[in-house]
A and B are shown apart, each in its own frame.
Chain A
Amino acid sequence: AQSVAQPEDQVNVAEGNPLTVKCTYSVSGNPYLFWYVQYPNRGLQFLLKYITGDNLVKGSYGFEAEFNKSQTSFHLKKPSALVSDSALYFCAVNTDKLIFGTGTRLQVFP
């Protein structure tokens, strides 16, 4: 079965520091991987995706993610965190329906 795992319920980081939100996947065949962000009382906003091509994917709001086939990972990164990045982040694999990880709450402190 296709799945993604987010091992951290919460990640805390100081503003200006780099951030990483981890995601590993278990997929048969080529993975179609996505990151979405959810702000309180808002819908899911698409951040970035990996379908094929370069392993380093750049997305919205300065976020990027690195696809690592050998480690079956797709970690979300940002070089310098902002307080406004504080939100709930979901990794997902697309099998025509999205299968989400359990989510990681990112808290950026001033």
Chain B
Amino acid sequence: AAGVIQSPRHLIKEKRETATLKCYPIPRHDTVYWYQQGPGQDPQFLISFYEKMQSDKGSIPDRFSAQQFSDYHSELNMSSLELGDSALYFCASRPGQGLDTQYFGPGTRLTVL
């Protein structure tokens, strides 16, 4: 079965640079979530989209922005990167809205030097 695809899998950036992370949800899934997992921490919700509209926002810095496109893929744009942004970034998808299962991608490991 098709899974959530994230690219790139690994990314190394310098401080103050920008990064773009991409997420391709499972086919026919129109809801996408982004989570950030710092070293040794649990995943923290950043932002979510349903049908190309932002549906909820968590502890996402103002330096980050995201959108969902017409084909339902999503991109997380991160600017003025800081050392503390180094983390594993997960995308999850599900069909429709509600509280049922979210399916996670393999994550993008971002390292900021």
Contact = CB atoms under 8 A, between A and B. Distances in A.
Contacts of A32: 99-100
B43 A100 contact: yes
Interface residues of B, number: 26
A36 B42 CA distance: 11
Interface in A56-86: none
B106 A98 contact: no
A94 B107 contact: no
Nearest to A44: B104
B70 interface: no
Interface in A87-106: 90, 94-103
Interface size range on A against B: 20 to 34
A92 to B, nearest CB: 9
A97 B56 contact: yes
A46 interface: yes
A94 B102 contact: yes
Contact of B48 (A34, A41, A90, A96): A96
Contacts of A94: 99-100, 102
Contact of A43 (B44, B55, B90): B90
Given A44-B90, A90-B42, A103-B42, A98 B102 contact: yes
Interface of B: 4, 33, 35, 41-45, 48, 55-56, 58, 90, 92, 97-107, 109
